[in-house]
Structure 1
Amino acid sequence: MGADIGVTGLAVMGANLARNFARNGYTVALHNRSVARTDSLVNTYGHEGQFVRTESLAELVEALDRPRRVLIMVKAGAPVDAVIEDLVPLLDEGDIIIDAGNSFYEETRRREEALRQKGLHFVGVGVSGGEEGALWGPSIMPGGSRESYQTLGPMLESIAADYHGEPCCAWVGTDGAGHYVKMVHNGIEYADMQVIGEAYDLMRSLAGLEPQEQAGVFREWNSTALASYLIEITSEVLDQEDELTGRPLVDVIVDAAGQKGTGRWTAISGLEVGSPVTTIAESVFARSISSQRSVREVTSQVFEAGINEAVTAEELYASGDARQDFVEDIRKALYASKLVSYAQGFDMLSAAGQEFGWDLNMRTIASLWRAGCIIRADLLDTIMRAYDAPAADQPRNLLLAPEFTEALAECLPSWRRVVAAAATYGVPAPVFSSALAYYDSLRAERLPAALTQGLRDYFGAHTYQRIDKPGTFHIRWSEDRTEAEV
């Protein structure tokens, strides 16, 4: 009997996935460029299951049962191509190469097509949950061919997170669909963290709540419709005291947020498929401006807030019922903005499905995110209910689902008050504001795009359409200014 699956690339994520397979009864062949890392894994965790130590890709392939399944867990980009190039001559028709890293979906599509021509299956797999998820059960989003999932799927489902008896793993679509869905997951994650940060900032800057006080607020919020992994761990981070200074940990962390590219990819792809993922884009920009610390150090001393109100924000919100009411307003604004970010993510998935020919099942995708991943939240059950109806009856935008529409109506007055307070007192809240603008744009009967089209026709003869009759038209601006149908 050979090994059931091979794993090459044994850094933390690769090693944890290999251990997860082994603990679930699979024999796992191991390979790493540094044999010492392979030996370390076997020596430390060999008791967890059956491992086969190999020193080369040729040995790895030789150790596998057919069809061979080789999981690559190396840095995205050129390193993935390099491993594939070395593997291909060693494999036979019907074998499967799995890329479980954060690869760009277009690269996955390219690789899948190239390997399909060689008779090999290439499966781009989105894996969410970080190091702990990889070890104990991540959310898994596989793409590739249906045929490859028949043999690979049961293995992935066995190591995935479990949500009330259901694995958080399912085939999502062909070629790059798996990595695309994971990319959108990460985009929503960016927006989710940013709105949580904005809520924290508003409560501290305007209501005067210190981090440890806010930890209690977030714990309370985690028993409401906001219940989620990110809300839960926010309370933990805000409650943490720095050992060196005794100050709240959040106060000694440099306020410059990093990124690995998936949020940026989501924003760019949203533009490419014509889906307005404004909350995700704003969250990416918020990280970018946070990283411009040297500029902010100068401008913070130069720019004025421009606040002339007789009553300061601290006086208005720091005590009594006003403070409690404002915190509740923030909770509702946070929930409403969160709904918008999820709605935008699913709208983008729908647009991408049409663009790339993927038959994406939105209910299934929502189900994959209920456990194991970073954006796991009670809200996903609500999203699944919205997509329970036949495809023809599903909401064109998630915000039109009755539960979402009702929630937004209930949150709207608070949402507007929070955005107004942020603008009035100079506290940046780009995603709160952008989410509200998206909502208002969707509900508007007329948008100023009519003027935009008129301007485009004036300077570039880009034409326009009329509301009262079909056709495409142009004004002879430089002549007699009469209208011509073109």
Structure 2
Amino acid sequence: MQMGLVGLGKMGGNMRERLREAGHTVIGYDTDAELSDAESLAAMVERIDHGPQIVWVMVPDTVVDVVIDELAELLGEGDVIIDGGNSRWIHDAPRAEKLATRGIEYLDCGVSGGVWGITQGYALMVGGEEATVAKAQPIFDSLKPASDFGFVHAGDHGAGHFAKMVHNGIEYAIMQAYAEGWELLEAAGHVRSVRETFNSWREGSVIKSWLLDLAVNALNEDEHLEQLRGYAEDSGEGRWTVEAALDLAVPVPNITNALFARFTSRQDESPAMRMIAAMRNQFGGHAVKDVAAAPDHVESAPGEEPAHPAKQ
């Protein structure tokens, strides 16, 4: 297939490469000219020379609507816009309705996989109409893992981003549990090697997971995480998960506590938060804050990581 891809940061750039390796023609656009294949959105769309024209958007939530509005002026009947960023699900249905007045179709797609997705594939959670999903299915098939898992048409508009939001809330809670267990083992002194104990859980244990693998990777690089400050941002989805739970009267105490623990990390040094920072760096390539350079307080809006303003 031919497609456009807007936003060529850590996720978008790797997705472009994976799609190209699968045989698709991808014309990418980024505000960073060194990353971009086209000098403008208009130039990108022009180079998609047979339809339907499909454009995947991978930009921060704060600028999604600006990009989509500009694309709406360039695309036409039967074309498709896919928002694959960490956008808030409540905006998807209004976007779809607005684009439908121009005959443009819309999908929201939650994407998980971090910097490892280029080789291992991405978990994709898609929201939108079935016929539109079918148009883009070859793209989804190329991005997802090679196994039968990793892709779901979650439901109508907003379902993809809602599923990804809950996915990230679960991620917060799992990371927090590993981090607290690591801190407890380190503090007790009874276990000869906490790193090797974590390593032993990677096979045969009911708590084995990819996050555990990444935690061990971090411990192999810095056994006691002495080079990290216990400081972790929240990128928005954890907050949105808790807010949705409040709206639906669903108790999510573990996810809520994990979110609040990240807030705590910005106030006082926390050994557990060094592990959170280490795991985030392992799967997402998030820059690690220098202890001396870190500010006492950082204001952040949901969907943003002001200390690390890289594109998605």
**TM bucket, shorter chain:** 0.7 to 0.9
Query: Given the alignment, which residue of 173, 180, 187 partners 1:198?
Result: 180
> What's the counterpart of residue 12 of structure 2?
14
> Does 2:210 align with 1:229?
yes
CA gap of 1:200–1:136, structure 2 versus 1, over 3 A, is: closer
Secondary structure in 2 aligned to 1:6?
Answer: strand
- Which letter does structure 2 place at the counterpart of 1:232? D
Deviation at 1:118, TM superposition (A): 2.6
CA gap of 1:62–1:254, structure 2 versus 1, over 3 A, is: same
Distance in 2 between residues matched to 1:141 and 1:66, nearest whole Å: 24
Pick which of 149-158 and 174-183 moved more: 149-158
> Does 2:195 align with 1:220?
no
Secondary structure in 2 aligned to 1:184?
Answer: helix
TM-score normalised by structure 1 residue count: 0.53
- Contact in 2 for aligned 1:157/1:170 (Cα 8 Å): no
> Does 2:71 align with 1:87?
yes
Distance in 2 between residues matched to 1:36 and 1:194, nearest whole Å: 38
TM-score normalised by structure 2 residue count: 0.81
Distance in 1 between residues matched to 2:118 and 2:156, nearest whole Å: 23
Query: Given the alignment, which residue of 58, 83, 88 partners 1:73?
Result: 58
Distance in 1 between residues matched to 2:5 and 2:241, nearest whole Å: 28
Q: CA deviation digits over 1:54-102, x for unaligned, max 9?
A: 222222222222111001111212x111111111111111110011111
Distance in 1 between residues matched to 2:97 and 2:159, nearest whole Å: 13
- Contact in 2 for aligned 1:138/1:160 (Cα 8 Å): yes
- Contact in 2 for aligned 1:17/1:135 (Cα 8 Å): no
Distance in 1 between residues matched to 2:131 and 2:18, nearest whole Å: 24
- Structure 2 runs not aligned, ≥5 long: 271-282, 284-312
Distance in 2 between residues matched to 1:240 and 1:17, nearest whole Å: 27
Q: CA deviation digits over 1:217-271, x for unaligned, max 9?
A: 1121122111211112222222333xxxxxx451231122221111111111111
- Contact in 1 for aligned 2:18/2:142 (Cα 8 Å): no
- Contact in 1 for aligned 2:8/2:58 (Cα 8 Å): yes
Q: What RMSD over aligned residues (CA atoms) do the two structures have, in Å?
A: 1.9
Secondary structure in 2 aligned to 1:5?
Answer: strand
> Of the two, which has the highest radius of gyration?
1
CA gap of 1:289–1:181, structure 2 versus 1, over 3 A, is: same
CA gap of 1:123–1:289, structure 2 versus 1, over 3 A, is: same
Distance in 2 between residues matched to 1:209 and 1:201, nearest whole Å: 12
- Structure 1 runs not aligned, ≥5 long: 39-52, 242-247, 297-373, 375-486
Richer in helix (by share): 1
> Does 2:83 align with 1:99?
yes
> Does 2:122 align with 1:141?
no
- Which letter does structure 2 place at the counterpart of 1:91? L
> What's the counterpart of residue 232 of structure 2?
257
Listed as ranges, the matches of 1:39-438 within 5 Å are 53-64=37-48, 65-77=50-62, 79-134=63-118, 136-163=120-147, 166-209=148-191, 213-223=193-203, 224-241=205-222, 248-293=223-268
Distance in 1 between residues matched to 2:231 and 2:254, nearest whole Å: 19
Distance in 2 between residues matched to 1:262 and 1:86, nearest whole Å: 26
Distance in 2 between residues matched to 1:106 and 1:135, nearest whole Å: 31
- Which letter does structure 2 place at the counterpart of 1:286? A
Deviation at 1:127, TM superposition (A): 0.6
- Which letter does structure 2 place at the counterpart of 1:237? A
The percent identity for this pair of structures is 33
Deviation at 1:194, TM superposition (A): 0.3
- Contact in 2 for aligned 1:153/1:171 (Cα 8 Å): no
Distance in 2 between residues matched to 1:103 and 1:22, nearest whole Å: 25
Deviation at 1:292, TM superposition (A): 1.3
- Which letter does structure 2 place at the counterpart of 1:73? M
> What's the counterpart of residue 471 of structure 1?
none
CA gap of 1:80–1:135, structure 2 versus 1, over 3 A, is: farther
Q: How many residues align?
A: 269
Deviation at 1:136, TM superposition (A): 4.3
